Amino acid sequence: MKKILEVKQLKVYFLLRRKIFKPAQVVHAVDGITFDVYEGETLGIVGESGCGKTSLARSLVGLTKITAGSVIFREHKHLETASDLEWRSLHREIQFIFQDPVAALNPRMTIGEIISEPLKSYFPHMDKKEITVAVLDMMQLVGISTADINRYPSEFSGGQCQRIAIARALILKPKLIVCDESVSALDVSIKAQIINLLKDLQRQLNLTIIFISHDLGVIKHISNRVLVMYLGNIMELASRDILYSKCHHPYTKALLSAVPVANPLVERQRSLHILKGDLPSPINPPVGCVFSCRCPLVDDNCRAARPQPLVTDDGSLVACFKA
């Protein structure tokens, strides 16, 4: 498969405001991660709140500055050094879908104006009729009634607003979509509809999707491969089937054991891997393995050195001395 995105040793740091008589502090939001994304796939990214998922997503679309490392889009476009003018061109191919669908839409614009805004910005030569036709086609594609083109976001439900946000993201026919917790604010039934819609659109438009969520059930349903993050680092990267059947990292095992099973008989017989302690501060991460403070298998080697991700026999990428 052809790579659409190559991420190498990506770091995203945030400098906190300096206090009197105290040195400046740095938040290690993303701390040197490497992975590839292939054309036509859905890469799921999962982890606890505060693990760096959103910082990673925003850095890939130019909303957050990359501190170090490189991100190569379609083999030749370096995102870490892209100028504002280059990012304007890149945004035609890379689009972002925000977590809160209602807050992401301008309440003073009709949905027709919201969806057509990217076309007016990138294709000023298009006349009003061409724009209207493109908007109506996109509304039909994402399941919004074309009769609602002059209504405002406040007149729609959360699920409908997310469809509008998806239509706005797809109107430029991008190659890569980054979804940051795009269904977390929705009801379960609506969540399933939006996930199925994304899968259908991916097949129709040959989209590549990076889908971020803390819900392992959603990740399992939509993803081809899954990347597990903890404190700005990759813990495990594997195909969906391998990760959910025989994961290697103790952190991944703990996450999966926390997912409830619908069968009460199976649920009672399961063994839970409950993590002790709290997530360490990204301002002062552990010297060795970032998971060493909470890992049930920790030893002196884990506390002294940080494991590098290595490929296992089944093709998974695991950052653990015990894997």
Tens of pLDDT, residues 226-271: 999 999 999 999 999 999 988 999 999 988 887 766 666 665 666 6
Kindly report the backbone phi and psi dihedral angles of residue 10, in degrees, each rounded to the nearest multiple of 5, phi listed first.
Answer: -70, 130
Residues 6+ apart with CB under 8 A from 196: none
DSSP secondary structure code for residue 307 in this structure = P
Mean local confidence (pLDDT), 276-281: 80
pTM of the model: 0.91
For a pLDDT cut of 70, what percent of the chain falls above it? Answer: 95
The count of other CB atoms within 10 Å of the CB of residue 319 is 24
- pLDDT given at position 280: 86
Q: In this predicted model, what pLDDT tens digit does every residue of 105-116 receive, in sequence order?
A: 999 999 999 999
Sequence ranges of the chain with CATH classification 3.40.50.300: 3-93+174-318
- pLDDT given at position 118: 94
Query: In which band, very low, low, confident or very high, does the pLDDT at 4 lie, cut at 50, 70 and 90?
Result: very high
- Relative to beta strand 26-38, strand 3-15 is antiparallel
Residues 6+ apart with CB under 8 A from 201: 141, 142, 166, 170, 207
Element (H, E) at 244: helix 240-246
Element (H, E) at 257: helix 250-257
Query: In which band, very low, low, confident or very high, does the pLDDT at 100 lie, cut at 50, 70 and 90?
Result: confident
Mean local confidence (pLDDT), 312-322: 91
Rounded distance between C-alpha atoms, residue 235 and residue 227, angstroms: 8
Rounded distance between C-alpha atoms, residue 39 and residue 4, angstroms: 5
Query: In which band, very low, low, confident or very high, does the pLDDT at 40 lie, cut at 50, 70 and 90?
Result: very high
For a pLDDT cut of 90, what percent of the chain falls above it? Answer: 59
Q: In this predicted model, what pLDDT tens digit does every residue of 168-203 receive, in sequence order?
A: 999 999 999 999 988 877 777 788 888 888 999 999
- pLDDT given at position 217: 86
- pLDDT given at position 7: 96
The pLDDT mean for the chain works out to: 89
Rounded distance between C-alpha atoms, residue 52 and residue 167, angstroms: 27
Nearest one of 166, 90, 99 to 122, comparing CA atoms: 90
Asked whether 169 and 97 are in contact (CB, 8 A), the reply is yes
Residues 6+ apart with CB under 8 A from 70: 6, 7, 8, 9, 10, 78, 80
Residues 6+ apart with CB under 8 A from 11: 28, 30, 31, 32, 66, 67, 68, 69
Identify the architecture of domain 3-93+174-318 in CATH: 3-Layer(aba) Sandwich (3.40)
Nearest one of 74, 70, 65, 63 to 37, comparing CA atoms: 74
Q: In this predicted model, what pLDDT tens digit does every residue of 14-31 receive, in sequence order?
A: 988 777 777 788 999 999
- pLDDT given at position 278: 77
The count of other CB atoms within 10 Å of the CB of residue 189 is 8
- pLDDT given at position 279: 81
Q: Provide the terminal-to-terminal Cα distance of the chain, rounded to the nearest Å.
A: 27
Element (H, E) at 44: strand 42-46
- pLDDT given at position 289: 92
Residues 6+ apart with CB under 8 A from 217: 259
Query: In which band, very low, low, confident or very high, does the pLDDT at 60 lie, cut at 50, 70 and 90?
Result: very high
Nearest one of 290, 282, 283, 281 to 309, comparing CA atoms: 290
